[in-house]
Amino acid sequence: MGAIVPRLDLAKLADSLRTQGRKIVTTNGCFDLLHIGHVRILKAARALGDVLVIGLNSDESVRRLKGPGRPITPEDERAEILASLSCVDYVTIFGEDTPVEFLKAVKPNLHVKGSDYSPESLAETPVVESFGGLVKILELVPDHSTSSMLARISQG
């Protein structure tokens, strides 16, 4: 089971992991309603390194990014759910709209996103590359997103 790490402790934790020679993989997102698409991408991300650290958007940043009525699940619960997955080592909550500050603290070897993004479209790509890391795009599970789940629910 993973741990929820206060943002202030993140850089120190990452430095310790690097000193141990561990390959750090990061990803980030809202993870509002956990679904099979999330689980598969998290498992695939974890398989690419020794440690998986998730940057979780705060409730405020989810509202700014996804609109009113979101998130469905509060940030503390989303963090606990993610940390309970065997493939997740650490979760931290960030309040910005992009994970740039999170990534500056962690300095991962690899940052993973789903195929709904391209490296060129990500604010995080130049940051990750600035300290020698790579951005990797993983295939998503088709038709599995929180937005599509909410649409199906509202249709009854």
Q: Domain-by-domain residue ranges, the chain?
A: 3-155
Domain covering 3-155, topology: Rossmann fold (3.40.50)
Q: Which residues of the chain have pLDDT under 50?
A: none
Q: Give the model's pLDDT for residue 5.
A: 95
Task: Give the pLDDT of residue 1.
Answer: 76
Q: Give residue 12's pLDDT.
A: 97
In this prediction, residue 9 carries a pLDDT of 94
Q: How confident is the model at residue 57, as a pLDDT?
A: 97
pTM (two decimals) = 0.91
58, 101 Cβ separation under 8 angstroms: no
Q: Given this model, what pLDDT does residue 151 score? A: 63
